Amino acid sequence: MSPDGDIIDCVHKRKQPALDHPLLKDHKIQRVPPERPKFMMEQKMRNYSSSSDGGRGAWQTWHRTGHCPKGTVPVRRTTVDDVLRAKSLYHFGRKQRRLPVATSSVDAPDVVSGNGHEHAIAYTGGTQEVYGAKATINVWDPSIQVVNEFSLSQIWVLSGSFDGSDLNSIEAGWQTNNKIAIGAAISPVSSISSEQFDITILIWKDPRKGNWWLGFGDNTLVGYWPAELFTHLADHATMVEFGGEIVNTRSDGAHTSTQMGSGHFADDGFGKSSYFRNLEVVDSDNSLSSVESISTLAENTNCYNIKSSSNAEWGTHFYYGGPGNNPKCP
């Protein structure tokens, strides 16, 4: 039992629910993890004692009361509230089909737009071959107006048809109301004008077996997405997106007050605005390189916005977020 009320079941690795997927009927669990991607140049050690350099690391709340034994997988127990947040039992646990935002650019990001989903994201070009991505993400606990809305901050690794008809995506980050047991709460979280906390997420493709791995922090391996699940991502990704997403249901006829990030706009900066820093991608030789050029997108900058920059300590980075409903976002 986690201090926040979550129940974590320690499930034998061969009985984990993921293996019930029909495409994984004959899947053999990869016991030896692949080599983690290394930065092409030895990175300068960062001293985080100064608030201008970054935030402290956050981890999972349930670890305060215990850990799962070797050979098992931590699985957060589904609650009634989890099911009620879905539109129906049919939609529970399903990803919504992604539809592209209206734009004339061939390198436009693939996002769910027009169904109440709003974003503030940075994205790479859609023509390069990408084998993973890494970023450090500021952790907050944004407020949600109604139960079936959400606010998330994550990395999307994408490949396929960007009209949404045949797209593979891998996504990892943090989300309010689906708080790795996967789905369990991350703590501590940041506070306005106070101590900042962040997490580092790494997604990369095993060059030998083709599985896509998820790393957390410097040394923790969460697990992997088996290669059998993918068509386009069986080879490589073509785009990476970083940033925030919310759902605006307009439940009372006005724009939702669900917050993105910290609930502050990007211009408020460190300690108030949420950030992604040290954006990196994995190349074909399993090496990490800094993202040198990004584009940004926010559908309604009066509700949520994004502002990118670059420096020696944080590399390519950006602030993003917003409060949602306000006088300029009715």
Q: Can you spell out the DSSP letters for 292-317?
A: ---EEEES-TTT-EEEEEEETTTEEE
Catalytic residue among 149, 245, 280, 313: 245
Decide: residue 11, CB within 10 A, 0-12 exposed, 13-18 middle, 19+ buried.
Answer: middle
Residue with tokens 């559908």: 299
For the chain, what is the total number of helices (H) and then of strands (E)?
1, 19
CB 308, CB 318: distance < 8 Å = yes
* HSE-CB for 149 with a 13 A CA cutoff: 23
Using alpha carbons, select from 288, 292, 280, 238 the residue that is nearest to residue 125. 238
Q: Which helix (H) or strand (E) holds 83?
A: helix 80-84
Phi and psi for 64 in degrees, rounded to 5?
A: -70, -25
Using alpha carbons, select from 189, 167, 168, 180 the residue that is nearest to residue 263. 189
Pairing of strands 132-138, 274-282: antiparallel
The verdict on whether 313 is a catalytic residue reads no
Please tell me the distance from the alpha carbon of residue 154 to that of residue 73, in angstroms, as a whole number: 22
CA angle at residue 262 from 256 to 264, to 5 degrees? 75
Q: What is the token pair recorded at 192?
A: 């306005």
Measured from the Cβ of residue 297, the count of other Cβ atoms closer than 10 Å reads 19
The verdict on whether 245 is a catalytic residue reads yes
Using alpha carbons, select from 270, 121, 122 the residue that is nearest to residue 190. 270
Please tell me the distance from the alpha carbon of residue 212 to that of residue 33, in angstroms, as a whole number: 11
Catalytic residue among 171, 228, 299, 313: 171
Annotated catalytic residues are 171, 245
